[in-house]
A and B are shown apart, each in its own frame.
Chain A
Amino acid sequence: MYFKLAWRNMWRSRRRTIITISSIFFAMIFAILMRVIIIGMFDKMISDTVSMSCGYLQIHHNGYWENKSVDSTFEETPRVTFILDKEKEITAWTPRLETFALASSGERTKGMLVIGIDPKKENAISKLSQKLVAGKYLQDSDKYILLAQGLAEYLKLKVNDTVILLGQGYQGSMAAAKYPIKGIVKLGIPEMNKGMAWLPMACARDFLSTGARYTSISIMVNNRNNLAALKQNIKRQIGGNEYEVMTWQEMVPELDQLFQAKLGQNEIMSGVLYLVIAFGIFGTILMMLNERMHEFGILIAVGMRKGILARVVVMEMILMSIVGTILGMGGAFPIVLYFRVHPIHMSGVWGKEMEQFNFEPILQPSMDFSNFIIQGYAVLSIAVLLSTYAIYKIYRIKAIAAINS
């Protein structure tokens, strides 16, 4: 009956309730959309970046990250890969042997990152073969190279043309080789598209004279929110200090910082929306308290404890917020789903702006439902917080004065 009472009270001033609920509804939709778009943007950016470069987690020789030298490599070790294979959180891993080198077409020369890969394992992570715009993907035994599209364009090279690589090999040796281009891949992230190339592992080892060595093993995971625990877990299993395990946040801190900064901005924007909601709810509470003083007085006079009265009133406010929140989530869901399936390709100024920040100019919202829940919690917390004012007022009611009001 208390619930019934709260529910009916809520619809007592139908118009006011509808206005309050719709303000929550629209603010929820905006807050959710803003958040899932930002998170979706970074999800893509982070996953594109880490799948192409370092992985969510990376195992490398202790000290490698400091100097990135091919001297800090490590030998293939079944002990480590065995650990990775049986860890359930890990969806894929791939060994890499990478270094900076000069690529030259004879006419033009450019510094770039050249990566020795296990073509099958690499493809499971970075889906390189799907990014081909010309030619074919690498095989283990190939003596070919794969170029990023921007790099190929700069060097004015096409499939089957030859590219010359110059660099520093293992223990100071001179590295020089030339490979015909087997394929050209287009990468979403502009910076990467301008400076990456891939060789089959054997070629890369040959080029750098490293023997059976890697610079790193990059690891992909199910859930990137559990990385710290997984890192510790892997570290403990490997033991010793020959190897170092790092998270993507440690390896590309600027990306994480940008992400956190954007999230922060987003939270400020949401905060403004919530302020609007808060004013709406508070106004409703004030008017409600005012209108119902007489009734509250009667209720207390006939024996209703203030605690119970307060509970009914708070229930009413929370009920209203829950209705607004659920409607908001329900309203946002199809919109998010639609843009998830049909991502927005940004063009013009906005697209340029995104590219400048090294984003692929595509907006594809995150479907992670926790983003909906977080906004819901925020609204409900506001309602609960503001309801304490109603509780305070109710505890101060003097029955007679209230009845006479």
Chain B
Amino acid sequence: MSYVIEAHNLTKIYNPKTIPVYAVNGVDLQVEEGEFTALVGPSGSGKTTLLNLIGGLDYPTTGDVKIAGVDITKMSENKLIDFRLQNIGFVFQAYNLIPVLTASENVEFVMLMQKKPKREREQHAIELLKEVGLSDRLNNRPTELSGGQQQRVAVARALASKPRFILADEPTANLDSKSTENLLDIMAKLNKEDKMTFIFSTHDQRVIDKARRVVTLVDGKIVSDEKQTQSS
């Protein structure tokens, strides 16, 4: 079985010359296709840092990250941008969207950068927004959407590039419980039906409960890595 993500002996040290902070400290992590994995741990434990390293947004101090067998830690910045575009979907904590574009234009945007033809972009954007339950919000701008709706558009956008996996750093942190549940249900559905791989960090126990694998970080180290059967 090959992995979508293989991180080996991953370390990220901030301020190596003054007061070194081992944000991620010798992490080994493999993720298979189709996983639905939560990254948990106390504040400052290195969740965001680890996600950034896996997502090619930051370079590790030592160690390597392979995405579908390709080592991304040696790539130039421009190569990495293209690699992210083709392989990785991102959902950030908040304000993910371009404010001047409508929901469907936001989703289309990544496909535009992938140079997909207009027809395909438009159709696919409508499909995706339908999947996240926003077919009636296609032409609304982000400011006209609730926080939960915005995050769902962000998920649709992350899916639009047909990535190998989606990284989400605390995607529900700014949402109320109803929106949180709704977003997680959508992600779980996409994971189940389309085999989309998700890795998300969270502090929220209800979100953790939905995960099938829970990786716990403390002080930049993985202290537990457990599979769990989904509570319905």
Contact = CB atoms under 8 A, between A and B. Distances in A.
A302 B98 contact: no
A8 B101 CA distance: 8
Contacts of B96: 298
A303 B109 CA distance: 10
Nearest to B85: A303
6 contacts: A294-B95, A300-B81, A301-B55, A303-B114, A305-B78, A308-B113
Interface string A1-30: 110110011001000000000000000000
Contacts of A157: none
Contacts, number: 61
Nearest to A304: B113
Given A1-B112, A302-B90, A8 B100 contact: yes
Contacts of B58: 400
Given A5-B98, A300-B81, A400-B57, 17 more contacts: A2-B112, A4-B105, A5-B100, A9-B100, A298-B90, A299-B98, A301-B84, A301-B90, A301-B92, A302-B85, A302-B157, A303-B82, A304-B81, A305-B81, A305-B82, A306-B81, A400-B58
Interface string A227-266: 0000000000000000000000000000000000000000
Contacts of A298: 90, 92, 95-96
Interface in B62-114: 78, 81-82, 84-86, 89-90, 92, 95-96, 98-101, 105, 108-110, 112-114
B57 A399 contact: yes
A403 B92 contact: yes
Interface in A280-335: 294-295, 298-306, 308
B182 interface: no
A231 B52 CA distance: 71
B61 to A, nearest CB: 15
B100 A303 contact: no
A303 B108 contact: no
Interface residues of A, number: 22
Contact of B109 (A1, A399, A400): A1
Contacts of B113: 303-305, 308
A298 B161 CA distance: 15
Interface of B: 52, 55, 57-58, 78, 81-82, 84-86, 89-90, 92, 95-96, 98-101, 105, 108-110, 112-114, 157-158, 161
A301 B100 contact: no
Contacts of B82: 303, 305
Best-surrounded residue of A295, A303, A308 (most CB of chain B within 10 A): A303
Given A1-B112, A298-B92, A303 B57 contact: no
Given A8-B100, A8-B101, A302 B108 contact: no
Nearest to B108: A1
B52 A303 contact: no
A302 B57 contact: no
Contacts of B78: 305-306
B105 A1 contact: yes
A12 B85 contact: no
Contacts of B161: 302-303
Given A400-B57, A400-B58, A303 B81 contact: yes
Contacts of B92: 298, 301, 403
Nearest to A403: B92
A9 B96 CA distance: 16
Nearest to A2: B112
B84 A295 contact: no
B101 A5 contact: yes
Contacts of B108: 1
Contacts of B55: 301
A2 B86 CA distance: 19
A303 B84 contact: yes
Contacts of B85: 302-304
Given A399-B57, A403-B92, A302 B100 contact: no
Contacts of A9: 100
B89 to A, nearest CB: 8
A4 B104 CA distance: 14
A397 to B, nearest CB: 10
Contacts of A399: 57
B98 A12 contact: no
Contacts of B81: 300, 303-306
B33 to A, nearest CB: 21
Given A1-B109, A305-B82, A295 B99 contact: yes
Interface in A55-94: none
A299 B101 CA distance: 13
Nearest to B160: A302
The 7 A-B pairs with the shortest beta carbon distances in the complex, nearest first, are A303-B85, A8-B100, A303-B84, A399-B57, A400-B57, A1-B112, A301-B90
B88 to A, nearest CB: 8
A103 to B, nearest CB: 78
Contacts of B110: 302-303
Contacts of A400: 52, 57-58
A197 B161 CA distance: 86
Contacts of B158: 302
B44 to A, nearest CB: 14
Nearest to A299: B98
